[in-house]
Amino acid sequence: MAEATEGRRLNANDLWVLATVVGMTAVTVLTRSLFFLSTTPWRLPGWVQAALQIAPIAALAAVIAPEIVTTQGQLIDSWRDARLFGVAAATAWYVWRRGLLGTIVVGMAVYMPLHIGLGW
């Protein structure tokens, strides 16, 4: 359980993860500097600009949704899942107050008692 934070020996998978993390650093630099690269001015076509607005939203939603409504690849079939209540509370806070930190804190405040106390 806690082995992740111990200094265990690296295996092949760890090296692969490490390479992925280095790749993510390159992604950070490239996406933030994309328009800094060329000295000749250029513009993206309109449809690409429109796609640039939507892709981050789609990527976030696509990563989040399965983490909330599936367990080991199966759609959950019970409402007794702490994640649903945590998300509901976080969403209610966001609608009311808009703060990112509050959204996380309120969501966890509802999620943790249900998850730890009731085992949901």
Partner 1 sequence: MKQSLIAHPDFRVGVREMLTVAPGIAAWGLMTGVAMAKSGMSLAAMLTMATLVFAGSSQLAALPLLAAGAPMWVILATASCVNLRFVVFSAHLRPYVMHQRLWRRLFSGYLFADLSYVLFVRRFPQPATEARGRAAQDAYWLGSGVAAWVTWTGTGLLGIGFAASVPQSWGLAFAGILALLGILYSLLSGPLQATSAAVAAAAAVAAFALPLKLNILVAIAAATAAAMMWPKPRRAAA
The residues in 22-61 that bind partner 1, with binding defined as CB under 8 A, are: 22-25, 27-37, 39, 41, 44, 46-47, 49-61
Q: Which of 12, 78, 79, 101 touches partner 1 (CB under 8 A)?
A: 101
Regarding 103 and contact with partner 1 (CB under 8 A), the answer is: yes
Regarding 116 and contact with partner 1 (CB under 8 A), the answer is: yes
Regarding 97 and contact with partner 1 (CB under 8 A), the answer is: no
Show the tokens assigned to 68. Answer: 């909330």
As a whole number of angstroms, the distance between CA 49 and CA 71 comes to 36
**Residues 80 and 59: beta-carbon distance below 8 Å:** no
